[in-house]
C-alpha cells in the first residue's frame, strides 16, 4: 500500500450480482446478527467475539460504520434480495493487500453464499477501487473456507505462512490470491 491515503469509501454501498445483494448493515439487522455469528464454528475460525450477543451486534454495527468512515474496511450484509441478512462479506485495505473475508450464518450454509459474495466483492475491488489483486487469509484446516477460495477462483500463493494467536488459540494462515481479470 502506498504512503498516500486511500480514497474514502462511499457512505452507502449496495452491490448486486450472482443472485445476491450485498448491502450496508442497518439498525434493523441487530436482532438477527446473533443468529448469524453466535456459533462455535464462527467463534473458532473468525476473529468475531464469542458469545455474540445483542451488545456484540451493536459493537459490530458501530465498528462497521467507523471502519468505513476511516476508509479501511467495508462490512456488508449478504442477502439474496436486499432484505434479511444471511451473513457478512468484508473488504479490508491493509499493507499486505486488499483482503476479503466472510462469515455465513449456520442456517444459510451450503448454498454457495460465501463464494458468490466473495466474487461480487472482488469484482467491486477490481472495477470500482482499481485494485490489481485481492487476497484471502485462511487456515488450511478450514475445509469450508478452502472450498470457498477455490470456487471463487483464488489460488494458493507461495508466500510465508502467517502465524499468530487469537482468543487463546494459535493459528497458521495461508494466503490465497486472485488477480484482476
pLDDT of residue 173: 97
| CB-neighbour burial class of residue 155 (10 A; exposed 0-12, middle 13-18, buried 19+) | exposed
CB neighbours of residue 67 within 10 Å? 17
Quick one: pLDDT at residue 5?
55
CA angle 164, 152, 32 (to 5 degrees): 70
Predicted pLDDT at 2: 38
Q: Residue with C-alpha cell 436482532?
A: 31
Q: Is the pTM of this model over 0.85?
A: yes
- Which positions of the chain have pLDDT values less than 70? 1-6
The model's pLDDT over 131-171, given as tens digits with 9 standing for 90+, comes to: 999 999 999 999 999 999 999 999 999 999 999 999 999 99
Residues 6+ apart with CB under 8 A from 18: 116, 117, 119, 120
Report how far apart, in Å, the C-alpha atoms of 11 and of each of 2, 67, 70, 73, 133 are.
23, 11, 11, 12, 23
pLDDT of residue 1: 38
User: What pLDDT shows up at residue 160?
Assistant: 95
Q: Which of 136, 129, 15 lies closest to 79, judged by CA?
A: 15
Amino acid at each position: 500500500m502506498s504512503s498516500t491515503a486511500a480514497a474514502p469509501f462511499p457512505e452507502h454501498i449496495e452491490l448486486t450480482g450472482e443472485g445476491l445483494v450485498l448491502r450496508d448493515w442497518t439498525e434493523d439487522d441487530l436482532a438477527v446478527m446473533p443468529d448469524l455469528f453466535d456459533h462455535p464454528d464462527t467463534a473458532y475460525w473468525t476473529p468475531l467475539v464469542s458469545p455474540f450477543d445483542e451488545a456484540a451486534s451493536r459493537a459490530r454495527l458501530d465498528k462497521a460504520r467507523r471502519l468505513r468512515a476511516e476508509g479501511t474496511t467495508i462490512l456488508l450484509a449478504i442477502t439474496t434480495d436486499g432484505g434479511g441478512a444471511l451473513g457478512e462479506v468484508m473488504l479490508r485495505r491493509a499493507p499486505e493487500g486488499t483482503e476479503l473475508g466472510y462469515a455465513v450464518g449456520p442456517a444459510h450454509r451450503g448454498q454457495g453464499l460465501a463464494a458468490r459474495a466473495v466474487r461480487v466483492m472482488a469484482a467491486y475491488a477490481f472495477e470500482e477501487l482499481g485494485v490489481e489483486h485481492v487476497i484471502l487469509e485462511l487456515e488450511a484446516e478450514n475445509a469450508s473456507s478452502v472450498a470457498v477460495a477455490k470456487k471463487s477462483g483464488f489460488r494458493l500463493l507461495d508466500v510465508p505462512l502467517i502465524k499468530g494467536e487469537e482468543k487463546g488459540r494459535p493459528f497458521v494462515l495461508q494466503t490465497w490470491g486472485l488477480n484482476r481479470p
